[in-house]
Chains A and B, each alone.
Chain A
């Protein structure tokens, strides 16, 4: 679930949205580093380690032809929390006019 992954990892939302657009030297530097790394990270002279950029490229490729959908949980249907349980109920009860006034 992309949303839950993000929730646990991302700190800076600006970076999350506009991250790859960052101007100037930063991105270039990274690319250089990647190139250097690519050559020397061979495991046992046989396997190559997947670099971060390759991983994100792969991810982008998978995204390329996905069906467009504007729902929040786009194509995957997660199990929503059982809101009728007492514990969960307490979390949102104050979002209703019948909840506590001060909350």
Chain B
């Protein structure tokens, strides 16, 4: 739904994409008002995890003003100045740490002090990208924009499965004055498959069974498959039982695709067979590889954000088919920063001939001129 603007405040309706809106609001310094948050639901207003997100944003900024209506269905958010620095945050267990970490990752380079955040909560969640995926696929993307890696780090201290969580990660991010433009139109061929299988508070054989089936599928395509098992013990295993897998495919152009799967939450109906889980994850990875693009489909929006905020120079990036989330993000980018991307569908001539093999993948070339966003709060020596 397109936004309306009243007195310099951008007004939205509905709780969807709250995270995008608050993130862009913080970066652009423009206030937002969000109305009709679940106003027709039985349980109206903001959820706990969304309030938790606002708390986190408040922690890394200075001068943020938030006004919530009595029913919680209307929110006014006036962003402050990004500070960053040391912080510890207990994330809401309704969502994964990934939900919060993605925001920190997007804001990290623009803080005053380098971010050093300790996040506690659920490390693997169905709705959110897991910390393993962020570490494997998102950090290399940021590295392309900042080039020099001085302290970009994501450390998984403890794992925690839903519903109780108990996991902990440490995220460190350096600050930059501005981001470099990105030219990225090739993604090469997949050269190796790596992965992590974790088993929390379940029999260690579960992990081995997952490894076996996932490897079985991947070996059809590539001999270089190596999966680690992470058998967590004691407090390192969090508070709830669960197991899962994340597979990473690395190409010879340093593009990382990542797919993941995890067991069902305890007490939520059917149980998960480890063999099925491994095969499912492998299939998802192959699907991701099939779609291609020089960035994992979950992080298209991050690339779009950093491209738009880069130098006043042309950035270009070819990605796989745009996800629904990215499309919405591009619309939001236009509303907050006035940046419009040029999008072109690239058709592969080789594939066009064989129509029987299902729909052809539509890779999209995104081009834009950065707005020259400068990190004003960063100290210059």
Interface residues of A (CB under 8 A from B): 2-4, 7-8, 13-14, 16-18, 20-21, 60, 63-72, 74-75, 80-84, 87-99, 103
Contact = CB atoms under 8 A, between A and B. Distances in A.
A74 to B, nearest CB: 6
Contacts of A92: 221, 286, 289-290
Contact of A72 (B18, B323, B344, B345): B323
Size bin of chain B's contact surface: 35 or more
15 contacts: A4-B359, A13-B344, A17-B330, A18-B330, A69-B128, A70-B298, A70-B299, A71-B298, A83-B290, A87-B357, A91-B358, A93-B221, A95-B290, A96-B221, A103-B350
A17 B327 contact: yes
Contacts, number: 135
Contacts of A99: 189
Interface string B352-371: 00000111001010000000
Contacts of A89: 220-221
B343 interface: yes
A19 B340 CA distance: 12
Given A2-B324, A16-B327, A99-B189, A72 B298 contact: yes
A28 to B, nearest CB: 15
Interface in B37-63: 37-38, 40-41
Contacts of A4: 359
Nearest to B288: A72
A40 to B, nearest CB: 28
Contacts of A80: 283-284, 286-287
Interface string B119-134: 0000000011100000
A82 B301 CA distance: 28
A70 B362 contact: no
B287 A70 contact: no
B15 interface: yes
Interface in B273-309: 283-284, 286-292, 297-299, 301
A64 B15 contact: yes
B323 A64 contact: no
A46 B289 CA distance: 52
**Most chain A CB atoms below 10 A, which of B36, B289, B323, B357:** B323
Nearest to A74: B324
Contacts of A68: 16-20, 99, 325
Interface in B1-54: 1-2, 13-20, 36-38, 40-41
A30 to B, nearest CB: 15
A90 B19 CA distance: 40
Contacts of B99: 68
Given A14-B342, A17-B330, A65-B38, A96 B189 contact: yes
B316 interface: no
Contact of B15 (A65, A74, A87): A65
B140 interface: no
A21 B325 CA distance: 17
Interface in B171-212: 189-191
Contact of B14 (A2, A63, A72, A74): A63
A89 B17 CA distance: 36
B1 A64 contact: yes
Contacts of B298: 70-72
A9 to B, nearest CB: 11
Given A91-B357, A95-B290, A64 B14 contact: yes
A95 B292 contact: yes
Contact of A83 (B128, B283, B291, B340): B283
Nearest to B127: A69
Nearest to B279: A84
A74 B323 contact: yes
Given A69-B127, A70-B323, A71-B325, 8 more contacts: A13-B364, A20-B2, A21-B2, A21-B331, A72-B288, A83-B283, A83-B290, A96-B289
